Amino acid sequence: MLSPDLSGKEFGRLTVIERAGSSKNGHALWFCWCKCGNASVVFASNLKRRHTQSCGCLNTEVITKHGLRLAPEYQSWKAMIQRCYNPKAAGYEYYGGRGIAVCESWRKSFEAFYTDMGQRSDASFSIDRIDNDGDYEKSNCRWADSETQQSNKRPKGTAFIN
C-alpha cells in the first residue's frame, strides 16, 4: 500500500520535505523542517491526524510563553496522566485502577490536550469527564466547576481535585 505524497504540505509549524522511509512495522515516515529551524522525522499518520505540529518546540513554547497563566492547564494535564497511569498517585484506584485511560494524543502531548481543551475559564475549573466511565478524550471532557462535576453521578466521597 503506497501512502500519499505529503511533500510540500504544511502541518502546523512543520513543512514536509521528503519521504524518510518506513518504521519496522511499515508505517510511513516523513522528514520535516520545523519553522524554528529544527528537523524532525514524523509518522504520516501523526501529521494527518494533526497530532504532531512542531518538532516539539510548540509544546515547550505554549508552556513558557503563557507562563503562570497556563500553569493550571499544564498541572491538570500532568495530574490526569498520573491518575490514570501511576498506581502510586492519589486517586489512581478510581481512574487507572478502573480502566479509565487518556487518549493517545493527549497522553503523548500537552500541546494536543491544550489545543482540544483550551484554557480553563476559571481557576476553580477542572477536567470533567461527561461520562464518568469514559476515557479522557476530547469528546468526553470539558472544564467544569466542582458543582457541575458533583451533580455528574460521581460516587460519594470520591471528589478529587483534577
User: Which residues of this protein are in contact with Zn ion, per CB under 5 A?
Assistant: 34, 36, 38, 54-55, 57
Cell 461520562, residue? 131
CA–CA separation, 126 and 14 (whole Å): 32
Looking at the Cβ atoms of 61 and 137, the one nearer to Zn ion is 61
- Report the 10 Å Cβ neighbour count for 116: 14
Looking at the Cβ atoms of 52 and 126, the one nearer to Zn ion is 52
Q: Shortest gap between Cβ of 57 and Zn ion (angstroms)?
A: 3
Query: What is the SS3 assignment for 23?
Result: coil
Q: How many helices (H) and strands (E) does the chain have?
A: 5, 6
Q: Shortest gap between Cβ of 40 and Zn ion (angstroms)?
A: 7
Q: Shortest gap between Cβ of 62 and Zn ion (angstroms)?
A: 12
- Report the 10 Å Cβ neighbour count for 66: 14
Looking at the Cβ atoms of 29 and 57, the one nearer to Zn ion is 57
Q: Residue 130 carries which side chain, given as an amino acid letter?
A: I
Q: Shortest gap between Cβ of 36 and Zn ion (angstroms)?
A: 3
Region label for 49, one of left (φ > 0), alpha (ψ between -120 and 50) or beta (otherwise): alpha
Cell 466542582, residue? 146
Looking at the Cβ atoms of 31 and 92, the one nearer to Zn ion is 31
Q: Shortest gap between Cβ of 46 and Zn ion (angstroms)?
A: 15
Looking at the Cβ atoms of 60 and 132, the one nearer to Zn ion is 60
